[in-house]
Amino acid sequence: MADIGPASLTHRRVLKIAVPIVLANATIPLLGVADTGVVGQLGHAVPIGAVGIGAVIVTAIYWIFGFLRMGTTGLTSQALGAGDMPEVRALLVRALLTGLTGGLLLIVLQTPLTWAAFRISPASPEVEALARSYFAIRIYSAPAAISVFGMTGWLIAQERTRTVLLLQLWMNGLNVALDFWFVLGLGWGVDGVALATFLAEWSGLALGLMLCRAGWAQGAWRDRRRIFDLARLRRMLVVNADIMARSVLLQASFLSFLFLGAGLGDVTLAANQVLIQFVHITAYALDGFAFAAESLVGQAIGARMRSSLRRAAVLTSLWGGLIVVTLSVVFAATGRDVVALMTTSDAVRAEAGLYLVWLVAAPLIGIASWMLDGIFIGATRTRDMRIAMLISVAVYAVAVAVLLPALGNHGLWAALMVFFVARAVTLALRYPALEAAVREPLS
């Protein structure tokens, strides 16, 4: 059984979980820069657009399976807290089976998926042709990429975030190295970028299986009765379905923010696109502490220790709070300089400067919603999350309807802040019930 007593929940332990995740997340945007940079050396706009569109389409499709990472973390951490090691190992096998099955399904459905994607995101014939070629290569690594989601969740649940960092460094480092070789060395262009990612993702699966070898101990993968136990499969299905519904609503809200900004003019749209990157940076920084909450809260619930649950929630949130205060200060001090690096357009720079105040406020306003997400994922209170997100999206829609016509783009940013607050309030109202559901064992 994991050591989850209140005395064992220290600041050091939280940081040991969180810091490797923050570092791993820092490599994600660097990969996008490398993909774009190598094709940019070809001297043509079409390959850059093709890689951009192709990557967005593939990422969006893979993102549907993001529930596998979160659901696996919550369920595994609870099994670990309860000392049920056979179930911990079985959850890895279920996650891998789900990832492989989901990836194979995407390969089978690639033709309608490609058709739908380019109907939604039209491009010039030249860009579309190259993007289709990119997609046709990348889709064959779907089983590996989605399975890595599950392995990552399994490792986070056990506080093995250094292993997650190693896995991400390997995949992204190999990807970048192959980008340069295939594109600049061999001249394979857009197909070279896609092939580099294809090989990196399959190599990531191979390395992940080796790093998760404890999950195969004692022939766990052969325990079909436990792996395919209907009650456990049903619980996994419900948890993952709730998370997927919640995530789709969340993504739709952010997309609507960008689409509504498009209606305010090209300059405003570009400014919002630049500024939303600050929100993404905040999310990447907070992920480490939200993930720490998932692992520690889940273990506390599995061990039925209410005091440990509360301490895990408080400690991770304190560190999350320190991070957002730091980010707000940094954004206030350097925001205009960062915007100037991201765009050379004087008009976009000036427009972004008008709304930078919202990006200084966003980390402080959004902290509660991000941390409560981690707490509720660890507790697998996913029904509460789904209902809270439904309510929050409705509140956001009303805020947009009222504030956008009255205040323009300031109203749109204000509505996004209202959305953050609604997410926090709706989950905070359910937190007492989360604690009350933890019945400590009789001494």
**Nearest in space to 345 (alpha carbons), one of 258, 404, 260, 273:** 273
- Report how far residue 424's alpha carbon sits from residue 443's, in angstroms, rounded to the nearest whole number: 35
| Burial of 405 per CB tally in 10 Å (0-12, 13-18, 19+) | exposed
For 188-212, write each residue's pLDDT tens digit: 888 888 899 999 999 999 999 999 9
The reported pLDDT for the residue numbered 378 is: 94
> Residue 264's pLDDT is what?
81
pLDDT digits (tens, 9 = 90+) for 357-407: 999 999 999 999 999 999 999 999 999 999 999 999 999 999 999 999 999
Domain boundaries, the chain: 1-228, 238-443
Distances (CA, A) of 71 to 78, 294, 394: 11, 10, 25
**99 vs 63: which has the higher pLDDT:** 99
pLDDT digits (tens, 9 = 90+) for 299-342: 999 999 999 999 999 999 999 999 999 999 999 999 888 888 76
DSSP string, 111-137: HHHHHHHHHHS---HHHHHHHHHHHHH
pLDDT at 441 over 80: no
Q: Which amino acid is at 7?
A: A
What mean pLDDT, rounded, does the chain reach?
88
Question: Would you give the distance in Å from CA 177 to the centre of its chain?
Answer: 24
Average of per-residue pLDDT across 62-66: 86
| pTM > 0.85: yes or no | yes
Tokens of 198: 């294809």
- CB-side neighbour CA atoms (13 Å) of 69: 16
Q: What is the mean pLDDT of residues 119-144?
A: 82
Which helix (H) or strand (E) is 31 found in, with range? helix 11-40
| Residue 29's pLDDT band (cuts 50, 70, 90) | low
Contacts of 372 (CB under 8 A, 6+ apart): 423, 424, 427, 428, 431
Q: Is the pLDDT of residue 409 over 70?
A: yes
pLDDT digits (tens, 9 = 90+) for 224-264: 888 888 999 999 999 999 999 998 899 888 878 877 887 88
d(CA 83, CA 79): 6
Is residue 5 pLDDT above 80, yes or no?
A: no
pLDDT at 32: 65
More confident residue, 33 or 408: 408
- Residue 81's CB is within 10 A of a number of other CB atoms, namely 27
